[in-house]
Every structure is written in structure tokens, then in C-alpha cells.
Amino acid sequence: MKLVILDRDGVINYDSADYIKSADEWRPIPGSLEAIARLNQAGYRVVVATNQSGLARGLFTPDDLTEIHAKMHRQLADVGGNIEAVFFCPHSDADNCTCRKPKAGLLHDIASRMGISLSNAVMVGDALRDLQAAISSGVRPILVLTGKGRKTLADLDGFNDVMVYDDLASMVDALLATEEP
């Protein structure tokens, strides 16, 4: 089973220091939705694992988050793609939960709910916490330079096995090229 786990903000859509608080603020990074569609067409299951501490901070409501994800799913469907599930942590750092990346709880939840092993999965993120969660879960970490990715790359000491790509589209190009006969 082929699984790609994506962080949301900074990987699929533009990020904001002020958080993505509404569907109007959610804007896909050019090429990201088409890249997900290409993964689907190549037989990959795609899920999202995202920290959403804006919920705990009261910056947006669960209904707002649902609307954001509905917009993402609609725009993805328009290009022939599908995200099978969105797993999110609603907590802030102060909550000290097990699901907030860099902890691995969200990824373990994905494995448990989907009834799969994460041993062959990849996780694409733009932040150090995404890479840390992937590594501690036995998932292959991949960094994209969109979102916080350039800053993360500058701080990437000790992460020699992390593949780095300009964006999700270039990562998908490389992943699919390794599968061609």
C-alpha cells in the first residue's frame, strides 16, 4: 500500500503567520492540487496530518475548519484528486498532547484508523516538527521549500536522510519517476 501523508499549511496551501482562519483565506500553492491528483492516479492514498492550534486559541471554530477543508476537497476534486482523510491536532503547545507534531500521535492515529503500517509511507512537510514526527513514526520524511521550508532547511543540522524539493509538485515528479519501468 502506497501512502503519502501531507502537512497542510505551507505544503498544499499558502501559510500565514496569522493562521488560515477561513475558507476565504485558504489558497492552494500553484501545482499542489494537480500533484495530489497525480499521486492518486498512480495508486497512492493521500491523507493530511496538520496541527491546527488556532482552534485552541479561539482564532477559528470547528465549523470554520470544516469549511476550509470542504473548499480544499472541492478544488482538489475539480482537478481529479482526492485526499482520503484529514487528521488534525486541535491543541496548543500548552496542552502537551500526544497528537501535536513533533510528537507522533497523529501519525499513529492515521495507521490505527486506516489499519496500515507506516513503514512504506512518506510524509511531506515544510517544518522541522513535520520531519521529527515522521522520523519518530518510522515514516520517510520529505521537506518542501514552500511555506516555512526555506527556514527549516537552514536549521536542518543532523537530518542527512531528508530529501528536499522545491515544492509538492517537484516532489511528486521525483517520486513518480522512481516508479516508472
Contact (CB, 8 A) for 52 and 89: yes
Catalytic annotation on 7? yes
Contact (CB, 8 A) for 54 and 93: no
DSSP code for 105: H
Catalytic annotation on 173? no
- CB contact set of 160 (below 8 Å; sequence gap of 6+): none
Catalytic residue selected from 9, 15, 126, 130: 9
The CA R_g of the chain, rounded to the nearest whole Å, is 15
Residue type, 129: R
Which residues form the catalytic set? Answer: 7, 9
